[in-house]
A = this chain, B = another copy of it.
């Protein structure tokens, strides 16, 4: 796998998530964390899930979503911060979108 994208901002407030998606490769993984969890309900998310057709691995930090009362959808994997550490080393590099 290639790049791990840590998405920490709401796409409703800033265009960081859109920038992330514009460079996303099909081997990459995405982690929604902090305010990035809000993106589960953003239209960009729907297009991401459709576009990648399951090839991009999409994750969300479960405590960050729960704290915000956001339901985790089935297309997305619920993970812990310790899993983010593991993903850091199963990918070649990390880009943080904050």
- Taking Cβ atoms with an 8 Å cutoff, the residues of A that contact B are 12-15
- Copies of this chain in its oligomeric complex: 2
CA of A12 to CA of B14, assembled, Å: 8
Could you jot down 5 A-B contacts, CB within 8 Å?
A: A12-B15, A13-B14, A13-B15, A14-B14, A14-B15
Do most interface residues of chain A lie in helix, strand or loop, or is the interface mixed? loop
Chain B: minimal CB distance from A17 (Å): 12
In chain B, what residue has the closest Cβ to A16? B13
CA of A13 to CA of B12, assembled, Å: 11
Residue numbers in B under 8 Å from A14 (CB-CB)? 13-15
Chain B: minimal CB distance from A15 (Å): 6
Chain B: minimal CB distance from A9 (Å): 10
Residue numbers in B under 8 Å from A12 (CB-CB)? 15
Residue numbers in B under 8 Å from A13 (CB-CB)? 14-15
Chain B: minimal CB distance from A41 (Å): 15
